[in-house]
Amino acid sequence: MPAAAWATLIIAALIIAITALGLLRVIFHLRAIRKTLVATTGGVQAVAQLTSTVPERLTSVNASWNYMFSPPGRRPPAGSWATR
């Protein structure tokens, strides 16, 4: 085999090896980014849960709030569920 063929094979092997190393680095960087995003998403969900609105079981509180701050012409009639 001529020397030019060997040189071509060696250069091609080096290019393939360097490309493979670069791709492995990208894979490891993406894995690290994924771990960070999973942790961030978990933290955001925890904050969202802690700062959620008043649960539905406290409807009387919500109704009283709505009654107190609704305009007089739009208040529910006395004795309705919203005034209890």
Every domain of the chain and the residues it spans:
1-51
Instruction: Give yes or no for residue 1 having a pLDDT over 70.
Output: yes
Question: Six-digit token pair at 1?
Answer: 């085999």
Main-chain phi, psi angles of 51, to 5 degrees? -110, 25
Instruction: Give yes or no for residue 69 having a pLDDT over 90.
Output: no
The per-residue pLDDT for 33 is 96
The per-residue pLDDT for 83 is 47
Instruction: Give yes or no for residue 21 having a pLDDT over 50.
Output: yes
10 Cβ partners below 8 Å, 6+ apart?
A: none
User: Which amino acid belongs to residue 62?
Assistant: N
* Measured distance between the N- and C-terminal CA atoms of the chain, rounded to whole angstroms: 97
How much is the pTM?
Answer: 0.51
Q: Are 84 and 62 in contact (CB under 8 A)?
A: no
